[in-house]
Copies of this chain bind each other. A is one copy, B any other.
């Protein structure tokens, strides 16, 4: 328990290992870097010394000596919804950090909603990139472009939105069906046994993440909360004005509308319609992504809960995964798993 004698804060170096194993520095180097031409017996001796001294390569020195640098491209959507603006900002902060780690990020903005444009951008990418992070689209052309990059030896991670059957290295984002299920459970429980209708508003049903969310939502709603009836999914195209009109119509048509789940953007429209109707307090509204707007609606009580994915975590995780892959280092999956955050008024960060 007590402090007692603490070990000196000095790490074993390659030289120490060489001395302990009774071999030369070059041999240790051959062993730790897995080069050819060392007898099995010697390898064992060196590895024993490594284990005994607890040798760990000094990453700073190693990187310096290697002099490698890595270039990554981050391909994000053009357009300006708050979440993507936020993500862009976080990617920039991550780029700053990476600069200190001998990594470089180029930020490209393309219209990711158009498969051809997105695929084209990926195909045009300079072969100088060691890795690419892309907000993907689950579409044959995009998958193909990703596979081509992978075939060229470029590490690809999908960000926020996945292309599951492609040869991407990793997906950095939340489990969207689970997010939908979470929204359904919150809706169902907040309405605790009451009856009525629940509306689901998506940006577009051609976006995989939106469909996955609404799938998860319906799954739980129908199995666990039979007293609630889901209305047919409405497509708001992530546009506030259009979403406002649709929501207003919905409220007018269904006097027994008890809940709204929005699995895309366009939240400002929903808030306006809800507040104008005077039913903001009676309708349970749950949406995705913490932004300056959704935060305000939540604090005000119009919005009941936010399902969130943290763009900062996502940007950093994508960079870490790419970097680790390039340096042939392992990644720890549960540190890279993106959480589905739930925010109520009380636990807003």
Chain A positions within 8 Å of B, measured between CB atoms, are 1-4, 6-7, 9-11, 56-61, 63-64, 69-71, 73, 93, 99-102, 104, 106, 108-110, 121, 124-126, 128, 178-179, 181-182, 184-186, 189-194, 216, 220, 304, 307, 312, 332, 334-335, 337, 339-347, 349
What are 5 A-B interface contacts by the 8 Å CB criterion?
Answer: A56-B100, A60-B64, A179-B347, A192-B194, A341-B341
Given contacts A3-B125, A3-B126, A194-B192, contact A346 B185 (CB under 8 A): yes
Give the complex CA separation of A193 and B181 in angstroms.
Answer: 24
Q: Which residues of B contact A349 (CB under 8 A)?
A: 334, 337, 339-340
CB neighbours (8 Å) of A341 from chain B are 339, 341-342
In the complex the two chains form, is A100's CB within 8 Å of B59's CB? Answer: yes
7 cross-chain pairs, A with B, having the tightest CB-CB distances, nearest first: A192-B192, A60-B60, A340-B347, A181-B346, A342-B342, A182-B346, A3-B126
| Structural contact, A2 and B179, CB atoms closer than 8 A | no
Is the pair A69, B10 in contact by a Cβ cutoff of 8 Å?
yes
Contact (Cβ within 8 A) A1 B108: yes
**A58: B residues at CB distance < 8 A:** 64, 100, 102
Identical copies of this chain, number: 2
- CB-based contact B337/A347 at 8 Å: no
Take A312-B335, A347-B179 as given contacts and tell me if A124 and B60 are in contact as well, using a CB distance cutoff of 8 Å.
no
Complex Cα spacing A10 to B104, Å: 9
Query: How many Å lie between the Cα of A99 and that of B93 in the bound state?
Result: 25
Are A102 and B346 touching (Cβ within 8 A)? no
Which B residues are in CB contact (< 8 Å) with A343? Answer: 342
A124 to B220, CA, bound (A): 56
* Neighbouring B residues of A70 by C-beta, 8 Å: 9
- A345, B185: Cβ atoms under 8 Å? yes
**Contact at A124–B2, with CB atoms within 8 Å?**
yes
Q: How distant is the Cα of A310 from the Cα of B58 in the complex, in angstroms? A: 28
Q: How far is the CA of A102 from the CA of B11 in the complex (A)?
A: 8
